[in-house]
Chain A
Amino acid sequence: EAQVTQNPRYLITVTGKKLTVTCSQNMNHEYMSWYRQDPGLGLRQIYYSMNVEVTDKGDVPEGYKVSRKEKRNFPLILESPSPNQTSLYFCASRRTGGTDTQYFGPGTRLTVL
C-alpha cells in the first residue's frame, strides 16, 4: 500500500530535550516536505526537499532541522524544543514536477511542556 508513515504519532516532551520525528514514504517520491498545523493559522510549510541531499526552508523553519540522506526518509529534528513548537506535524511527499498529488502522513501531535 502506497503510504507516508510518521513516528511517533503522539509525543509529550519538555523544553530543550532534543527529539526527532521520522517520516518515510514507499512511493519512490523525490519531493518531501514538513508542515505544521495550528488553530487559526492553518497548515504552514516548515522545510522541503526536492531530492536526496537537497533541502530548503519553507515559511516557518526557525527551530527545526531536516536531513535527506535517503530518498524514502525525511526526518524532522527539533534540537531544543520550546512550547511554541507544540503543534500537529505532517509529512508529505509527491513526485517532482509540481503537478502531482501530494500525499500526507497521519500526523504527529507534539506537546512541549
Chain B
Amino acid sequence: KQEVTQIPAALSVPEGENLVLNCSFTDSAIYNLQWFRQDPGKGLTSLLLIQSSQREQTSGRLNASLDKSSGRSTLYIAASQPGDSATYLCAVCQSGNTGKLIFGQGTTLQVKP
C-alpha cells in the first residue's frame, strides 16, 4: 500500500531564505508526482507536476525533483516571500487506471517578514 510522508510537518523561516520541502513514498510504481499549495480554508493549487520519467521541473522560484528509485521528491523554494506562506502538499498518482492521488499530510510553511 502506497504511503506518502512529508517532512517537516511545519517550517518557519525568515523572508529571503531558500528552503527545501521533502516528500517520500513507499511504492515506486507511479505515473507522476504533483506538488500543490493550499491556503487556509481554500482549495488546492497545482504548482508542479513531474512525470515518472522526469527528474525535475521548474516554475519561477520553484524547483521540484523526483528520484523514483529511492522514493523521494523535494520542492525547492528560492528567495522565500511572506506570500509563500501556505501548506504544501505532495501527491503521487499510482500506476493503473484509477487515477487516484495519494497525498502526504503536508508541510505548513510560514515565511516571516
Contact = CB atoms under 8 A, between A and B. Distances in A.
Contact of A48 (B32, B34, B98): B98
Given A42-B106, A106-B42, A101 B98 contact: no
B100 A101 contact: no
A34 to B, nearest CB: 11
Nearest to A95: B99
B41 interface: yes
Contacts of B43: 90, 104-107
Given A90-B43, A106-B42, A109-B41, A48 B31 contact: no
Interface in B9-32: 31-32
Chain B residues touching A, range: 20 to 34
Interface in A21-38: 31, 33, 35
B103 to A, nearest CB: 4
B46 A102 contact: yes
Interface string A63-107: 000000000000000000000000000101010101111111111
Contacts of B42: 106-107
A99 B32 contact: yes
A101 B103 contact: no
Contacts, number: 61
Interface residues of A, number: 27
Given A107-B42, A107-B43, A98 B100 contact: no
Contacts of A107: 41-43
B49 interface: yes
Interface string A37-74: 00010110100101000001011000000000000000
A31 B45 CA distance: 18
B63 interface: no
A61 to B, nearest CB: 12
Contacts of B45: 104
B34 A33 contact: no
A59 B34 CA distance: 19
